[in-house]
Amino acid sequence: MSIIPKRDQLTPKTFLKAESDMETKYMNPYLAGFFLGLLLLATIYITGRGLGASGAVKSGVITAVETVAPAHTNSAEFYKEYKTEHPGSPLKSWLVFEVAGVLIGALLSGLISNRLNFTLETTPGVQPKIRIVTALAGGLLFGFGSQLGRGCTSGAALSGMAVLSTGGIITMMAIFGGAYGFAWFFRKLWLKNQE
Amino acid sequence: MGPLVPELIGEELNLVIAFFIGIGFGFILEQAGFSTSKKLVGLFYGYDFTVLRVFFTAGITAMLGLVIMAHFSLIDLSMVYVNPTFLWSAVIGGLIMGLGFVVGGFCPGTSFCAAAIGKIDALIFIAGGALGVLVFAEAYPALEPLYKAEFWGNVRIFETLGMSQGLFAFLLTVMALGAFYATGIIEKKVNKGETNEATTRRVFTSFAVVFLILGIAAIFLPDKRESVLSDMNNKEALDGIEFSRISIDELALRLMNNDKKYQIIDTRSEQEYALFHLPGAINVPLEKFYGKENAKVFRDKSVKRIFIGANKEDEIKAAYVATQIGIKDPLVLEGGLQKFREEIIGFDKAEAVNKGLNADTERFRLKAASLIPVLIEKDKQAGAPKKVIKKVMGGC
């Protein structure tokens, strides 16, 4: 970490230098992608379904609402539909177990690559306060969008692309297309130091 | 044949597997650098295309793998979960997620990875995600019409576009390789000569060549099931293929003797089967010969199978498909089920005289005409064995 200059010394050049020095520690993207593809293929071969993530958040939310307001889950349409489609505890779902694994796997990876660190990561020039708000707002939008779009980048876009689902590929294009379209408006959140 | 769930792997074991798959998923994402929002959004500003490289390499690897496995009948794609297509919710949901991506810097999967290594912003993103789900849940009654609008079914993209699976797989592979090449140039430009691309030109070229070969191969590796079913409907492909026949009298005799060495496979539709079928006949509509669903029906190699259909053409088709799934010497019923119904079950003495049947046949058919309806009725009472097909549930 010593190679990273202090924040006030950052110029576009040193910033990029520091970034690229850090990145040499990451796996080659094509190799990582190939491994991820093989994992996805194995997942589909074994379980008949792809990977996912946002579904686990949904299970968590439904469990929480069930605990806090059980009467509400019996009357509101969204929860009733979920109940008919997924009888039993919402936590006993495939994606909840998978995401529990994701946490362990990422932790292991962070451990061996020496990246474990409690930190609020911000772009230089962006106040931590702002980062908290953007993280919360971004999460909210993603959580909402993933419910409307029936899956997120993992469940709809990646797994949908692997099985060539029309809906999955449309969602994928909308996510990335949308992000490109909106990127310009939020450039100050990410590009401060490179301008 | 895959998928292994639910027949070979039960529900509980599946959850254990989910956990281990998750470990692999989280590990790879973190190793690839998906645990930092700066790297993730780099894609949208052109300074770091890691996400695109990992994402599309993974996508085409899995896709080409599935195409190849389906060609060699290693996996039954009809049993794999295909995300349903609801046009408007996919588009609008996707756009909202895109907005969430550039604002929050994560997507759900990557936020879990980042949270696991201690990123507080990722934890906040997850909390926001939960809030977003809650908002959706509470607003669901108002959103339901949009959520369920323009349902196209669980369609696959090449069907929507009207091309073959292999051709689409090839085009997507070429697109991905083109995108890798182009974004490499963009990234270099944006970063003023410096690049995050650690892949050497030689490595990238060999990678591209391998995937290009696999992509081209995909064009010539049709889904085995699809190609057999299309051959089946192609008159020329079936021209001149002969199958052993069983006469209607022999079948009647075997039915009356309850001969267990013969198994009747009724290839008509479920509705037709429900209206009328021969005793002991198993209903497997033609398009369902392939695949896991009915693999059990064809497993026992010691019995002889008689394929019956409404007419001769359907029986030939069925027998042809049967040979393609490894059934040796399938039998077809002479004249089809129609003839059997007319001349055995509906045996008419007066007509028999006109046709000049010999006395023995006449006596036999008279007996069969009285016995077989009883057997059919008995079989109906017993009820057809119910096939319960559990399909995998998926999605986020």
A170 to chain B, any CB pair closer than 8 A? The answer is yes
Q: Is the pLDDT of residue B173 over 90?
A: yes
**A151 and B23: CB-CB below 8 Å?**
no
DSSP B246: E
Confidence of residue B73 (pLDDT cuts 50, 70, 90): confident
A-chain residues near B99 (CB < 8 A): 141, 145, 178-179, 182
**A16 and B194: CB-CB below 8 Å?**
yes
Would you say residue A139 lies in a domain? yes
Of A86, A109, A183, the CB nearest to B31: A109
**B94 and A97: CB-CB below 8 Å?**
no
Name the strand (E) or helix (H) holding B306: strand B304-308
Alpha helices in chain A (DSSP H): 12-23, 29-47, 54-68, 70-75, 77-85, 94-112, 128-148, 159-162, 166-183, 187-190
In chain A, the number of structural domains is: 1
- Residue span(s) of chain B under CATH 3.40.250.10 come to 235-382
Q: Tell me the sheet residues that pair with B283.
A: B266
A-chain residues near B215 (CB < 8 A): none
Would you say residue A8 lies in a domain? no
Q: How far is A28 from chain B (nearest CA, A)?
A: 7
Q: How high does pLDDT run on average in chain B?
A: 88
Q: What residue type is assigned to position B323 of the chain?
A: T
Tell me the CATH architecture of domain B235-382.
Answer: 3-Layer(aba) Sandwich (3.40)
Among A17, A28, A126, most B C-beta atoms within 10 A, so best to mutate, is A28
Residue with tokens 């069907």: B159
A-chain residues near B6 (CB < 8 A): 48
Of A140, A167, A190, the CB nearest to B128: A140
What pLDDT digit, counting tens, does each position of B336-386 carry?
A: 888 888 888 888 777 766 777 788 888 888 888 888 888 888 887 776 555
Of A104, A167, A177, the CB nearest to B90: A167
Q: Is the pLDDT of residue B177 over 90?
A: yes
Region A75-84 average pLDDT: 91
Of A131, A140, A156, the CB nearest to B132: A140
What pLDDT digit, counting tens, does each position of B251-275 carry?
A: 988 888 888 888 899 988 888 888 8
The burial of B374, by beta-carbon neighbours within 10 Å (0-12 exposed, 13-18 middle, 19 or more buried), is given as exposed
Query: In chain A, whose CA is at the least distance from the CA of B146?
Result: A148
What pLDDT does residue B204 have? Answer: 92
Q: Is the pLDDT of residue A51 over 60?
A: yes
Would you say residue A24 lies in a domain? no
What pLDDT digit, counting tens, does each position of B205-249 carry?
A: 999 999 999 999 999 998 888 788 888 887 777 777 788 889 888
B-chain residues near A178 (CB < 8 A): 94-99, 101
Neighbours of A119 (CB within 10 A): 11
3-class DSSP string for B13-70: HHHHHHHHHHHHHHHHHHHHCCCCHHHHHHHHHCCCCHHHHHHHHHHHHHHHHHHHHH
A135 vs B7 pLDDT, higher one: A135
> Helix, strand or coil for residue B2?
strand
Query: In chain B, whose CA is at the least distance from the CA of A118?
Result: B118
Distance of alpha carbon A190 from alpha carbon B295, whole angstroms: 54
A182 to chain B, any CB pair closer than 8 A? The answer is yes
Beta strand B85-86 with B244-246: parallel, antiparallel or unpaired? unpaired
From chain A residues 10-69, the ones with a CB under 8 A of any chain B CB are 12, 16-17, 19-20, 23-24, 26-30, 32-55, 57-58, 60-62, 64-65
**Contact, B294 vs B284, CB < 8 A?**
yes
A124 to chain B, any CB pair closer than 8 A? The answer is no
Distance of alpha carbon B336 from alpha carbon B352, whole angstroms: 19
Of B26, B93, B198, the CB nearest to A101: B26
Confidence of residue B391 (pLDDT cuts 50, 70, 90): low
What pLDDT digit, counting tens, does each position of A137-193 carry?
A: 999 999 999 999 999 999 999 999 999 999 999 999 999 999 999 999 999 999 865
Would you say residue A141 lies in a domain? yes
What pLDDT does residue B222 have? Answer: 87
**A98 and B134: CB-CB below 8 Å?**
no
Among A57, A79, A130, A184, most B C-beta atoms within 10 A, so best to mutate, is A57
**Contact, B352 vs B40, CB < 8 A?**
no
**Contact, B157 vs A164, CB < 8 A?**
yes
**A138 and B105: CB-CB below 8 Å?**
yes
DSSP B259: -
Of A55, A120, A146, the CB nearest to B93: A146
Q: Which of A130-139, B185-194, B273-282, B311-320 has the highest mean pLDDT?
A: A130-139
Order of strands, sheet of B331-333, starting from the edge strand that comes earlier in the sequence: B244-246, B331-333, B304-308, B262-266, B282-283
Q: Is the pLDDT of residue B45 over 70?
A: yes
**A151 and B169: CB-CB below 8 Å?**
no
**Maximum distance among all Cα pairs of chain A, rounded to whole angstroms:** 58
Alpha helices in chain B (DSSP H): 11-32, 37-45, 50-71, 87-104, 108-116, 120-147, 157-161, 165-190, 201-219, 224-232, 235-238, 248-256, 270-275, 312-324, 336-340, 349-355, 359-382
**B97 and A142: CB-CB below 8 Å?**
yes
Query: In chain B, whose CA is at the least distance from the CA of A151?
Result: B396
